[in-house]
Structure 1
């Protein structure tokens, strides 16, 4: 499509893109040195670069979107995200440092989150799931973001581990605001919405039954709570429930009340724990129905990994963790607690320290990607090669903010 066809839309984007959240981040492409590509998205019309902000040397992530190739629908989609980004200001939501148009590209400047996304951590280092305590910190950060988003009258609609980014200091931030939807209509707050999230193919396993069902009853903020429960299973089990199912089967399973669960010694039959683990049956993280995961028992402090060579789920997660997930994954939306209520859940009583103190320790031996801070990374081939090696574990789609 010709760029001229976007004259009106582009004018609105230009107006929005003049906003600069922090005066120190100039809305000028010459102030940024592009280092390496760390992701793509929006049907390959968006490139995400790691870059250096020249005036201070700080590293940032830049989303560069080719507006000339965007459809009118995509431009409207981006406008919604930029409007929300101007409205939202919360420590648990990924901030926007600056937004501007450079030639025919929209540039969106975000801080570089040195641990990548929670999905990155699972894919590269915690294939069988993270520790329960690390998950508690991440879920609490997510709930604080969702509490704010819901209070502002919005539904996130894209809650998943790849939209949870973690900074070098352990700060947990939600991203993925492009699919967000307002409940405010004509100055009043609607009880439900019926809009189906566009570009949602990659989000289907996380979506609640009522969003997928698309009936007259609609859905509200409690659909995000269901997605949070799926994300909890994703973080604990190392893979996403329903991920490999055809879309139709996934819908039927969710509508029939099939409940994903945490995989540990209380949910996997003893005979299966003695077998080589697989990604089917009980090991898929899918229960047969409400309560089918059986009684919860704790053998002291929850462990997070079996001994070397043992079954990865020969662990015992806390009853509080199981109860938290089951609350989130209630089939009926009205039975799911709000984000505010869940923040006070007993599951989070195990948190004793600040994330900046605890998460870097819990992620060991993994360290944040800060190797580019050395002088050799300021433009040398060797420095960039080393940097790209450090970034190699990041999944492309996970930086599709």
Structure 2
């Protein structure tokens, strides 16, 4: 239930329970306690913006997601369910809502500032042809930890993709995009297969599993997230998701027929011929990337190839679980936490972080700091 706060805002639940904590700082559901600065990201829809903000009493820099409820293509209860779920989750690799309340026609969600934005932001800003494999391994390990946590609780994410993987300025990784989750527990019983299909999923089609797209009597389970993880792994490695150049109907047919996208490196690429060669030359003339030359110059590990191949099995029963993948050989060599390794692996990108903003208090100064950080493209989705 919504409850009015002193500022005229409305909060979820009781005033006491809706107060969030950020370290030793208490975050209140009161708009007068926050100052919005520059827009640092866009959401899945035009009515969603992510702002760099300041908690006025403490001076703490945070992020606030603002959703224009009146102009939203999604019902309000969908956002409400997402907020409730986020506050129930307690895992370091799942995005947190520290405090959430309604201000006039907007839903405000206060979150920690995650300086690199999403993995998609990182790709588009500098790593246009893909991330280093070691960086991908650290990111995937943390995403798998989040999925294992969700799956153990009977929750299917249904929207695993690079834009829903957020990276903090310290290298921490967390999974967001919980708006489309589905619970396998109903009336105290866990269903082995479910048949609920996500609404407004056109933006997720490239990542969704064949069994979700088929919408048949067999249904789907948590293994559908593993397929999406395979597509996301391909996306992180190549800089863009597979099937991107295909009409939707052809993409659906390829998936249903079991077509597996392969990593582009010297072991999988072949010379282009005929129409493909002409199209490739045209893309180069228009300033495109020479994908063939790039692929021939790099080689991914056999463990990475194997992981993607197993994740993209058409038969979900043949895919590994999130728990099983955590012991995959691809992650055996990772000896550090992501926060200890990723900042170096993502250089030369500079995140928006608290050190950058420690002495910044006014809008123009904040904008100046942000504009000096070339990695942020606010036209890209930064979905919490």
Q: What's 1:156 paired with?
A: 157
Please tell me whether the aligned partners of residues 16 and 82 of structure 1 are also in contact (alpha carbons under 8 angstroms): no
- Once the two structures are superposed, residues 110-165 of structure 1 have per-residue CA deviations (whole angstroms, 9 ceiling, x without a partner) of 11110111111111111111111000000000000000011111100000001001
Please tell me whether the aligned partners of residues 277 and 311 of structure 1 are also in contact (alpha carbons under 8 angstroms): no
* Aligned equivalents of 1:17, 1:204: Cα separation in 2: 38
Kindly report which structure 2 residues correspond to 1:354-373, keeping only aligned pairs within 5 A, or say none: 354-370=337-353, 372-373=356-357
* Aligned equivalents of 2:280, 2:310: Cα separation in 1: 24
Q: What's 1:82 paired with?
A: 83
Q: Indicate whether 1:56 and 2:58 are aligned.
A: yes
Please tell me whether the aligned partners of residues 3 and 14 of structure 2 are also in contact (alpha carbons under 8 angstroms): no
Q: 1:47 to 1:334 in 2, by over 3 A?
A: same
Q: What's 2:200 paired with?
A: 199
Q: What's 1:29 paired with?
A: 31
Q: 1:130 to 1:41 in 2, by over 3 A?
A: closer
TM-aligned CA deviation for residue 316 of structure 1: 1.4
Q: 1:149 to 1:391 in 2, by over 3 A?
A: farther
Please tell me whether the aligned partners of residues 171 and 342 of structure 2 are also in contact (alpha carbons under 8 angstroms): yes
Q: What's 1:20 paired with?
A: 19
Question: Given the alignment, which residue of 358, 373, 379 partners 2:362?
Answer: 379
- Once the two structures are superposed, residues 26-49 of structure 1 have per-residue CA deviations (whole angstroms, 9 ceiling, x without a partner) of 211111110011233354222221
Q: Where does structure 1 lack aligned partners over 5 or more consecutive residues?
A: 1-7, 284-308
Please tell me whether the aligned partners of residues 154 and 221 of structure 1 are also in contact (alpha carbons under 8 angstroms): yes
Please tell me whether the aligned partners of residues 92 and 144 of structure 1 are also in contact (alpha carbons under 8 angstroms): yes
SS in 2 for 1:59: strand
Kindly report which structure 2 residues correspond to 1:162-173, keeping only aligned pairs within 5 A, or say none: 162-173=163-174
Please tell me whether the aligned partners of residues 157 and 181 of structure 2 are also in contact (alpha carbons under 8 angstroms): yes
Q: What's 1:210 paired with?
A: 211
Kindly report which structure 2 residues correspond to 1:1-400, keeping only aligned pairs within 5 A, or say none: 14-16=11-13, 18=15, 19-22=18-21, 24-41=26-43, 43-70=45-72, 74-269=75-270, 271=271, 311-370=294-353, 372-375=356-359, 377-390=360-373, 393-400=376-383
* Aligned equivalents of 1:324, 1:318: Cα separation in 2: 10
TM-aligned CA deviation for residue 80 of structure 1: 1.7
* Aligned equivalents of 1:267, 1:163: Cα separation in 2: 28
TM-aligned CA deviation for residue 199 of structure 1: 2.2
- Once the two structures are superposed, residues 262-281 of structure 1 have per-residue CA deviations (whole angstroms, 9 ceiling, x without a partner) of 11111112x459xx999879
Q: 1:203 to 1:187 in 2, by over 3 A?
A: same
Equivalences, count: 362
SS in 2 for 1:243: coil
* Aligned equivalents of 2:107, 2:363: Cα separation in 1: 27
TM-score, normalised to structure 1's length? Answer: 0.83
TM-aligned CA deviation for residue 245 of structure 1: 1.7
TM-aligned CA deviation for residue 350 of structure 1: 1.9
TM-aligned CA deviation for residue 388 of structure 1: 3.9
Q: 1:241 to 1:351 in 2, by over 3 A?
A: same
- Once the two structures are superposed, residues 61-109 of structure 1 have per-residue CA deviations (whole angstroms, 9 ceiling, x without a partner) of 11112233446x5112112212211221100001111111223322111
Please tell me whether the aligned partners of residues 229 and 325 of structure 1 are also in contact (alpha carbons under 8 angstroms): yes
Using the TM superposition, name which of 17-26 and 171-180 deviates more. 17-26
Q: What's 2:288 paired with?
A: none
**Which structure shows the higher helix fraction?**
1
* Aligned equivalents of 1:145, 1:109: Cα separation in 2: 21
Q: 1:380 to 1:225 in 2, by over 3 A?
A: closer
* Aligned equivalents of 2:155, 2:257: Cα separation in 1: 28
Alpha-carbon RMSD: 2.7
* Aligned equivalents of 1:27, 1:400: Cα separation in 2: 21
TM-score, normalised to structure 2's length? Answer: 0.87
Using the TM superposition, name which of 324-333 and 365-374 deviates more. 365-374
* Aligned equivalents of 1:171, 1:224: Cα separation in 2: 21
Q: 1:16 to 1:390 in 2, by over 3 A?
A: farther
TM-aligned CA deviation for residue 21 of structure 1: 3.5
Q: Where does structure 2 lack aligned partners over 5 or more consecutive residues?
A: 5-9, 284-291
